Amino acid sequence: MGKRLGVTFLVVFALATPKTGLGQTLRYNVGDPLRFGIGYNTLTGQYAGNCTANPQTADIKPAGDADAPTTGQLTRWELSSEQDLSTLTEKLDFSASASASFVAGSASMSVDYMKSRTFNKYHEFLYVSASVANGTQVWTKPALTQASLNLRKQPLDFLTKCGDTFVQTITTGGELTAILDVTTSAQEDTSSLTVSVSGDYAGVAGRAKLAQQIQQRLANHQTQVKVFRAGSTGALPTYTADQLITASLDFPTQVAVHPVPLQAQLASYDTISPPTPLTASQQAFIKPLFRAYKKTMQNLGNLTYIQSHTSEFRRIVPQAAAGMNAASAANALAEFLSSSQSTLSTNFDFADLNIQEIADSQTRQEDYSNRLEALATGCLQEPKTKCSGLLPEAPAPIVNVVRVFGVDSAWNTNAGPVDITLDQAYVCKVENIAGDWKPGDGRTLACNDSLPHGVIQGHVVVGGFDNPAQYGDNVGVCTYHFLCTRR
């Protein structure tokens, strides 16, 4: 069964947004033709033609009621850990409602990043943004040219040439935006990397706090930096993590001397000419396609990582306990791994990764993304006939593949019955028990043959030895080799 396509909404952050009743915010990227009156298609995330009359200097005024330019800088920094690709791409671009950007050839940085399949659930990703706004100006008397007014009577032609909005306010300043791709191990507790903080970027203390927060999260980790904005009109720099921190400390000073467009507010042409409902119907159809597309790209990012690091992964296979069917065993294991229940009510095994299964899953996800693109393209090209229907059912992602790691734990046999307790977040199986030991009668026994292998709740091993009077005569240390995944 498909899902009926409907309307959704997105909430985005805006810095120093003037209260003018305008539409969405558009962030500046290097090379953008951002200027007053330029058209913009919020559906595709692309700049369009200039269909407005030339703005007069006298009609460009500071935001608010004052006739004099505002003074000072409005500053803000943000550092957040991101587990969801959709949320991250919306932070990268204020123009988050550009639903068709994934098929329209948009130059959107967030779409490019989304399609790169870099984002995955096996690394930690930190979003860093430092914004400095010097001032905002508004075009107070916007108007269409006569030719554009005439073209407005042909909604699709007007949309193609002019977009559905135009730039009415521009804020100057600068923004330093980057994603930190932090390499983490399968065994690592990544809670120390989880962060969601923000603050005032003005003054030495504010900048130092941002630097300290970044340094704290990146200590002892390999990190790759992807810069999206650097507060300039030139080529984007390539930074190491340390260089990014250094650049952030001096950023407000550079912006004060060399400001660039920071962001714009878009106004609908409906505010200066008779309205047309064309774009609204396309948005309603394409937005759910875009949501599904972003989720598919995240699934493909996970699969791409697995294919590049096959030695890190195993299939985890549930074994039904007495009175439990296979489906119930699989559900019980899945719930335990997600930490939604504290008791493991089924057994399991780790099995070798099925490479073909991963490849087949990738093919299904790619086919689904292509189908979503085709539906969105049809709606863009033929809005009167191809903007309705059901959202295709998404292929199920692989859920039985886990990232694994080894843990060794030694047990001295003269201590008596085995009592090994691993981290409660671990879900482990005993691969083997290395070494030999000798009971008091002098026999040599293989640890792997005589010590208990059973793991309780995935992280506890107990038992073995049945004569308390002879524990002290035991000689030898047995080393447990566990294979584990982390909940």
Tokens of 253: 């000073």
pLDDT at 438 over 80: yes
pLDDT at 12 over 60: no
Contacts with 332 (C-beta within 8 Å, 6 or more apart), sequence order: 318, 324, 341, 344, 345, 346
Quote the pLDDT of residue 112. 84
Quote the pLDDT of residue 8. 26
More confident residue, 16 or 113: 113
Quote the pLDDT of residue 10. 25
Question: Reading across the β-sheet that carries 477-486, which strands appear in turn?
Answer: 347-351, 313-319, 401-412, 477-486, 426-434
pLDDT at 14 over 80: no
Mean pLDDT computed over 337-343: 77
CB atoms near residue 260 (< 10 Å): 20
**DSSP per residue, 240-265:** -HHHHHHHHHHHHHHHHHS-EEEEEE
More confident residue, 166 or 192: 166
Inter-residue contact 439 to 406 (CB < 8 Å)? no
Nearest CA among 410, 419, 386 for reference residue 482: 410
Domains of the chain, by residue range, sit at 7-277
Q: What percent of the chain has pLDDT over 70?
A: 90
Tokens of 116: 């790169």
Cα 232 to Cα 157: distance, rounded to the nearest angstrom: 35
Report pTM: 0.82
Quote the pLDDT of residue 178. 92
DSSP 3-state assignment of 94? coil
More confident residue, 94 or 459: 459
pLDDT in tens, 267-303: 999 999 988 777 788 888 988 999 899 999 999 999 9
Report the DSSP beta bridge partners of residue 463.
418
pLDDT at 265 over 80: yes
pLDDT at 170 over 50: yes
More confident residue, 142 or 131: 142
Mean pLDDT computed over 32-44: 91
pLDDT in tens, 361-387: 999 999 999 999 999 999 988 888 999
Quote the pLDDT of residue 322. 67
More confident residue, 365 or 441: 365
Start-to-end Cα distance in the chain: 32
pLDDT-derived band at 413 (thresholds 50, 70, 90) equals: very high
Highest mean pLDDT range out of 2-11, 255-264, 315-324, 349-358?
349-358
Largest CA-CA distance found in the chain, in angstroms, rounded: 106
Mean pLDDT computed over 8-20: 29
Contacts with 252 (C-beta within 8 Å, 6 or more apart), sequence order: 73, 75, 130, 132, 201, 202, 207
The average confidence (pLDDT) of the chain is: 85
pLDDT-derived band at 332 (thresholds 50, 70, 90) equals: confident
DSSP 3-state assignment of 51? coil
Contacts with 384 (C-beta within 8 Å, 6 or more apart), sequence order: none
pLDDT in tens, 90-113: 888 755 456 777 876 655 677 888
Cα 162 to Cα 100: distance, rounded to the nearest angstrom: 16
Quote the pLDDT of residue 301. 96
